[in-house]
Amino acid sequence: MASEQLTARWDGFLNKLKERFNEILGQAENPMDNIITGLQYDTVTIHNVLTGLKNQTVEQLTQKAQDGWSKMQMELLKSLSVFSQGTEYNKMMALIEWMADEFTRFEVRIYAKAARKVLENVKAHIDEKKMHRCTQCGAELPIKIFSFVAVNLKCDSCGSVNTYQPDDRIRAMEYYVINHLAEESALEEKIKGQKDKSAQKEYYRKYYGYLMNNVPDKKDFYNRDLEERLNNPFFS
């Protein structure tokens, strides 16, 4: 087969894989919306669905592209077009990279949508106007309902220590809501960071910055994590 014909066949094959990728994710939109509508206070189901979809898109199509490349390489050798091997191989690698990036965008978008639904459900469940009073003297206590760790508060009036444990739904939001929204805020940096170390640091700054702003109770904890990722040679 002439080398132009081979290239055209290879391009056609890679285009079909790309179309298939778009088709699967396009078909997943509606059933995914139905799943999100039915969520309560966690996003575990979304994780399960995305794992399956990633297998059917990124993993299986990458495998198909690599299998196709083995055949294409043989054909190139037969047609003595060995010098175009690099160009054709790079086309496949670009497609594999594109699928991985697009899936990350899809995944982060879906998680963020699910996170907003969970937040809506938690807000509907929690009474934000509820007054918290000291168990000993009844004085009003400045308890923040949207806190993510148990706190000990000393009553200004009688001095007793009141222990407050937030609702489990609120504590779970740290992972099921805020984490996903933080990922959404740093999405493009996350994608760039997979190939570029300095962009990866920018991703950590943005991701942890979002967490620190939205979970002030754990600001020190997140800051320590951020510093570790920015300065530990293991991460950079």
Partner 1 sequence: MDEQTKQFNLEIDKVSGEAFLSAKGGDDNWNKVLESYGIQPLTKDIKDALLNSEMKIAKGAFPIELRKVYEKIIEKHSATNSAELKNVLNSFDMDGKVKAYFQKIKPFGGMSDIFKNASTTMTKYSQGMQKEKHSTMKCKNCGAPRLEEMQYDDCLFCGSKLFEPV
Q: Does 119 bind partner 1 (CB under 8 A)?
A: no
Among 10, 13, 21, 41, binds partner 1 (CB under 8 A): 41
Distances (CA, A) of 187 to 160, 190, 194, 199: 46, 5, 11, 11
CB 162 within 8 A of CB 153: yes
Closest approach of Cβ 153 to partner 1, in Å? 8
Residue list 172-191, contact with partner 1 (CB under 8 A)? 172
- Residue 19: CA count within 13 A, CB half-sphere: 6
Q: Residue 232 has which token pair?
A: 């530990």
**Residue from 23, 205, 21, 187 nearest 108 by CA:** 187
Burial of residue 31 (CB within 10 Å: 0-12, 13-18, 19+) is exposed
Q: Does 14 bind partner 1 (CB under 8 A)?
A: no
Compute how many residues bind partner 1; rule: CB under 8 A. 41
* Structure-token match 């890679």, residue found: 14
Residue number, 13 or 41, with CB nearest to partner 1: 41
Q: Does 164 bind partner 1 (CB under 8 A)?
A: yes
State which amino acid sits at residue 72.
M
Residue number, 17 or 28, with CB nearest to partner 1: 28
Residue number, 67 or 227, with CB nearest to partner 1: 67
Among 101, 102, 167, 202, binds partner 1 (CB under 8 A): 167
CB 7 within 8 A of CB 79: no
Residue list 68-107, contact with partner 1 (CB under 8 A)? none
Closest approach of Cβ 31 to partner 1, in Å? 4
CB 161 within 8 A of CB 153: yes
Residue number, 116 or 132, with CB nearest to partner 1: 132
The region, left, alpha or beta by phi > 0 then psi within -120 to 50, assigned to residue 80 is: left
Q: Does 162 bind partner 1 (CB under 8 A)?
A: yes
**Residue from 168, 163, 202, 167 nearest 186 by CA:** 202
Q: Does 39 bind partner 1 (CB under 8 A)?
A: yes
Q: Does 24 bind partner 1 (CB under 8 A)?
A: yes
Q: Which residues bind partner 1 (CB under 8 A)?
A: 24, 27-28, 31-32, 34-35, 38-42, 44-45, 48-49, 52-53, 56, 132, 134-136, 143, 145, 152, 154, 158-170, 172
